[in-house]
C-alpha cells in the first residue's frame, strides 16, 4: 500500500519516496535556489519588482530578522516548557490540537513554504512529516485527519524538538545568506511564518486550557492568580460618528492578506461600550432566564443551546449559588468584575439582545479604536486570564486590545478588492470566508506585537474555547 506521503508531486514540494534517507542536519548547508520566479501579478512578484536587484538585504536587516526568528521560535518552546510530555500528546476535541502537534506543525510551515521552496536539493527532515503536520493546505498534499491528531504518539516529543532544531538551523542559515538580498519575498514568507507561529502560541494556550478542563484533577498551567477585589467601572459609551471612514490595513508594515485593501465604509453612527461585559452582568442575564427565553436567540443559537444543554459560559462551574471558573491557573472563584469569557457568538448575540443593545460591526469596532494604542492585558504578562476593567482613564482600561477577543456582528468575508497571497499560502485566510464571524482586539493569550487595529480573527458561531468576550454597541441617541 502506498502511504499518502510516499510520492508528493505537488509543485514546490520535494519528490520523496518511502525509504529515502532523512537529511542529516549536520551535513546540510543552505543552497539558495536560483530559479525562483514570482508569479506574474502576485504580491510576492510586486514586492520583488519594487525592491529588486539593487536592494540587497543589509546585514543589519538580516541580523534583525534572525534575532526575531530565534526569539519567536523560542517563545513557543517556552510556552510548552511548563508542560509534561503527557500533556503535549492528548487532544481534547477535534478543534483543539495537542501541543506536540503545534510544535511540529509550525516547523512544517517553515519547511514547506521556505526551505522546500528556496533551498535547492532540500530534503525533508522526515518523509512522513509533510503528511502528519499539514493542517489544511490542499495545495501541499494529503494530510492526517485533524480529529485524530491526538493519536500520534510518534514522533515523540523529543523527535519533534529535533525537527524544530533542524528547521531552525536551516532557516537561520538561509536568512544569513547574503544572496537573500535579491529575494525580499523570502523575508515576506518568513514573516508570515513568524506571525503564524504566534497564532499557534495562542492556540497552544487555549487548547491546553480545554484539555486540562476535561480532567477532574483540574491541572494548573500557571501559578495561582490574585483575587480580584475591585469593582468593574460603570459601563460607558463611546461615540462612533456618522460618515465615511476607512478601515483595513495600509502601509508597509506586515498584515495578512485578509486585512487588505484599506477601503471606505459608510457608518450611520453608533455608540460602542467602553469596556467588556463583566461576569456579574452575564450572571444577571442567566438569572433573568437568558438561556430559557427563545425570543433572545437566533434560531441557530437556540438549537445549539438545546442540543448542548448550555446554561452558562464554557468554563463556569456550579450554579447561581456559587459559580467557580476554570482558568489556566486552575479552578478559581468567579469574580464579578472580571469580563465574562469563553462565550460563543450566539451567546454574545443573545446577551446583547437581552441588554437592549447589539454587537458592533467590525467596521464600527475598528473606527472606534483604530487610533488607540495597542495596549492591554496580553500574553506578554503571562497572566493568561482577563482582568477587570477599572476606573482608570487609560487605554488599557477600555479593553479594546487584549483581555478577550470581541465578537462582532460581521460575517467573515473579503474586503472589496481582496487578493489572497500567491500560491498555496493563499489558502491561509481566504478559503475560510464562509459561515464564520469576525473577532477583534486580541486576548490575554495573544502576543501584543501580533496585534494591530486591522487584525481580523474569525471563528464559527458556536465556538467558545478561545478567549472570547462581549462588547456592546447601540444606535446613537
Ligand atoms: Fe497553522
Is the pLDDT at 17 greater than 70? The verdict is no
Is the pLDDT at 418 greater than 70? The verdict is yes
Q: What is the pLDDT of residue 35?
A: 32
Ligand 1 centroid–CA 65 distance in Å is 21
φ/ψ of 459, rounded to 5, equals -145, 165
Same domain membership, residue 441 and residue 334: yes
Ligand 1 centroid–CA 318 distance in Å is 35
Same domain membership, residue 454 and residue 362: yes
**What residue has cell string 512522513?**
128
Per-residue pLDDT, averaged over 298-320, amounts to: 97
φ/ψ of 290, rounded to 5, equals -55, -40
Range of the domain at 103: 13-45+54-213
| Least confident piece of the model among 145-154, 247-256, 302-311, 393-402 | 393-402
Is the pLDDT at 69 greater than 60? The verdict is yes
Ligand 1 centroid–CA 107 distance in Å is 10
Same domain membership, residue 188 and residue 253: no
Report if residue 223 sits inside a domain.
no
What percent of the chain has pLDDT above 90?
Answer: 78
Per-residue pLDDT, averaged over 132-160, amounts to: 97
Q: What is the pLDDT of residue 29?
A: 36
Report if residue 4 sits inside a domain.
no
Same domain membership, residue 129 and residue 256: no
Report if residue 412 sits inside a domain.
yes
Ligand 1 centroid–CA 137 distance in Å is 9
Ligand 1 centroid–CA 285 distance in Å is 36
Same domain membership, residue 440 and residue 305: yes
Ligand 1 centroid–CA 476 distance in Å is 40
pTM: 0.88
Ligand 1 centroid–CA 136 distance in Å is 8
Ligand 1 centroid–CA 420 distance in Å is 16
pLDDT, one tens digit per residue, over 90-136 is 999 999 999 999 999 999 999 999 999 988 889 999 999 999 999 99
Report if residue 219 sits inside a domain.
no
Ligand 1 centroid–CA 195 distance in Å is 10
Domain boundary among 213, 246, 269: 213
Same domain membership, residue 198 and residue 261: no
Same domain membership, residue 33 and residue 171: yes
Ligand 1 centroid–CA 80 distance in Å is 17
Domain boundary among 180, 213, 246: 213
Report if residue 226 sits inside a domain.
no
Same domain membership, residue 271 and residue 167: no
Q: What is the pLDDT of residue 116?
A: 94
Ligand 1 centroid–CA 388 distance in Å is 31
Q: What is the pLDDT of residue 393?
A: 61
Same domain membership, residue 289 and residue 336: yes
Domain boundary among 178, 213, 248: 213
Report how many domains make up the chain: 2
Same domain membership, residue 304 and residue 170: no
Q: What is the pLDDT of residue 357?
A: 98
- Average pLDDT, rounded, for the chain: 87
Ligand 1 centroid–CA 391 distance in Å is 38
Q: What is the pLDDT of residue 120?
A: 82
What percent of the chain has pLDDT above 70?
Answer: 85
Ligand 1 centroid–CA 200 distance in Å is 7
The CATH number of whichever domain residue 335 belongs to comes to 3.90.1580.10
Per-residue pLDDT, averaged over 37-57, amounts to: 32
Per-residue pLDDT, averaged over 380-404, amounts to: 85
Report if residue 218 sits inside a domain.
no
Q: How does residue 25 score in pLDDT terms, banded at 50, 70 and 90?
A: very low
Report if residue 6 sits inside a domain.
no
User: Rounded to an integer, what distance in angstroms lies between the CA atom of residue 292 and that of residue 299?
Assistant: 13
Ligand 1 centroid–CA 105 distance in Å is 7
Amino acid at each position: 500500500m502506498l502511504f499518502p506521503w510516499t510520492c508528493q508531486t505537488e509543485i514546490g514540494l520535494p519528490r520523496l519516496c518511502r525509504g529515502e534517507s532523512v537529511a542529516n542536519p549536520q551535513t546540510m548547508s543552505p543552497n539558495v535556489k536560483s530559479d525562483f520566479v514570482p508569479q506574474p501579478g502576485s504580491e510576492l512578484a510586486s514586492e520583488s519588482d519594487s525592491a529588486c536587484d539593487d536592494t540587497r538585504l543589509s546585514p543589519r536587516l538580516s541580523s534583525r530578522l534572525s534575532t526575531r526568528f530565534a526569539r519567536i521560535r523560542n517563545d513557543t518552546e517556552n510556552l510548552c516548557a511548563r508542560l509534561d510530555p503527557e500533556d503535549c500528546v492528548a487532544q481534547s476535541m477535534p478543534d483543539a490540537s495537542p501541543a506536540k502537534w503545534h510544535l511540529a506543525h509550525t516547523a512544517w510551515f517553515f519547511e514547506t513554504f521556505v526551505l522546500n521552496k528556496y533551498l535547492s536539493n532540500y530534503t525533508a527532515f522526515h518523509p512522513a512529516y509533510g503528511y502528519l503536520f499539514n493542517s489544511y493546505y490542499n495545495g501541499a498534499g494529503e494530510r492526517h485527519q485533524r480529529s485524530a491528531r491526538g493519536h500520534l504518539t510518534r514522533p515523540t516529543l523529543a523527535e519533534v524538538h529535533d525537527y524544530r532544531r533542524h528547521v531552525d538551523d536551516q532557516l537561520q542559515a538561509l536568512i544569513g545568506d547574503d544572496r537573500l538580498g535579491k529575494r525580499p519575498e523570502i523575508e515576506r514568507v518568513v514573516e508570515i511564518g513568524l506571525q503564524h507561529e504566534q497564532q499557534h502560541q495562542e492556540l497552544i494556550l487555549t487548547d491546553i486550557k480545554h484539555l486540562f478542563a476535561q480532567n477532574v484533577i483540574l491541572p494548573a498551567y500557571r501559578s495561582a492568580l490574585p483575587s480580584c477585589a475591585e469593582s468593574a467601572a460603570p459601563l460607558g459609551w463611546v461615540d462612533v460618528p456618522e460618515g465615511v471612514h476607512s478601515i483595513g490595513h495600509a502601509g508597509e508594515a506586515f498584515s495578512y492578506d485578509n486585512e487588505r485593501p484599506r477601503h471606505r465604509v459608510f457608518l450611520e453612527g453608533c455608540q460602542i461600550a467602553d469596556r467588556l461585559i463583566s461576569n456579574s452582568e452575564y450572571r444577571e442575564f442567566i438569572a433573568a432566564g437568558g438561556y430559557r427565553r427563545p425570543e433572545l436567540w437566533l434560531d441557530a443559537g437556540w438549537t445549539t443551546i438545546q442540543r448542548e444543554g448550555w446554561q452558562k459560559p464554557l468554563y463556569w462551574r456550579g450554579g447561581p449559588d456559587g459559580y467557580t471558573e476554570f482558568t489556566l491557573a486552575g479552578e478559581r472563584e468567579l469574580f464579578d468584575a472580571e469580563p465574562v469569557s469563553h462565550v460563543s457568538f450566539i451567546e454574545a448575540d443573545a446577551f446583547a439582545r437581552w441588554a437592549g443593545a447589539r454587537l458592533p460591526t467590525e467596521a464600527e469596532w475598528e473606527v472606534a479604536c483604530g487610533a488607540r494604542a495597542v495596549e492591554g492585558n496580553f500574553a506578554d504578562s503571562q497572566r493568561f486570564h482577563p482582568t477587570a476593567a477599572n476606573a482608570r482613564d487609560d487605554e488599557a482600561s477600555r479593553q479594546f486590545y487584549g483581555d478577550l477577543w470581541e465578537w462582532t456582528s460581521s460575517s467573515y468575508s473579503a474586503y472589496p478588492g481582496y487578493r489572497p497571497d500567491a500560491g498555496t499560502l493563499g489558502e491561509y485566510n481566504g478559503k475560510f470566508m464562509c459561515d464564520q464571524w469576525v473577532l477583534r482586539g486580541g486576548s490575554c493569550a495573544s502576543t501584543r506585537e501580533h496585534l494591530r487595529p486591522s487584525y481580523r480573527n474569525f471563528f464559527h458561531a458556536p465556538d467558545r474555547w478561545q478567549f472570547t468576550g462581549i462588547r456592546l454597541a447601540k444606535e446613537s441617541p
